[in-house]
Amino acid sequence: MEYALPPGTLAQINPVVASAGDDTEHGGNSAVRVSAINSLIEERPMSVQAFLYVVAVILIALAALPLRTRGVSLALLGAACAVLAYAWPVITG
């Protein structure tokens, strides 16, 4: 059975997954299909830039709440984190 997938899908990225086909048609090769898909899934730790963006969003969201922060501007701190995250590739170059 040939699968007709649109361009840019998993079938064009990894032909092993597309050729794995149906279990009944190829004698139950679900282990091949699962191992091929698992080889595509790669867990990577969050980058520093992404972490800084998350911190910036949290600080800006907290700044919108009526919290007393005693002289610390959460909005400015969040903006500083966002600028640092934006410039991170240049800084670490």
pTM of the prediction? 0.55
Half-sphere exposure for 45 (CA within 13 Å, toward CB): 2
Q: What phi-psi label fits residue 42: left (phi over 0), alpha (psi between -120 and 50 degrees) or beta?
A: beta
Q: Look up residue 46 and give its DSSP letter.
A: P
Confidence of residue 23 (pLDDT cuts 50, 70, 90): very low
Helices (H), the chain: 10-13, 15-20, 30-40, 48-63, 74-92
Q: CA 75, CA 81: separation in Å to the nearest integer?
A: 10
Whether residue 73 is predicted with pLDDT greater than 80 in this model: the reply is yes
Whether residue 9 is predicted with pLDDT greater than 70 in this model: the reply is no
Whether residue 21 is predicted with pLDDT greater than 60 in this model: the reply is no
Q: CA 9, CA 17: separation in Å to the nearest integer?
A: 11
Per-residue pLDDT averaged across 62-67, rounded? Answer: 94
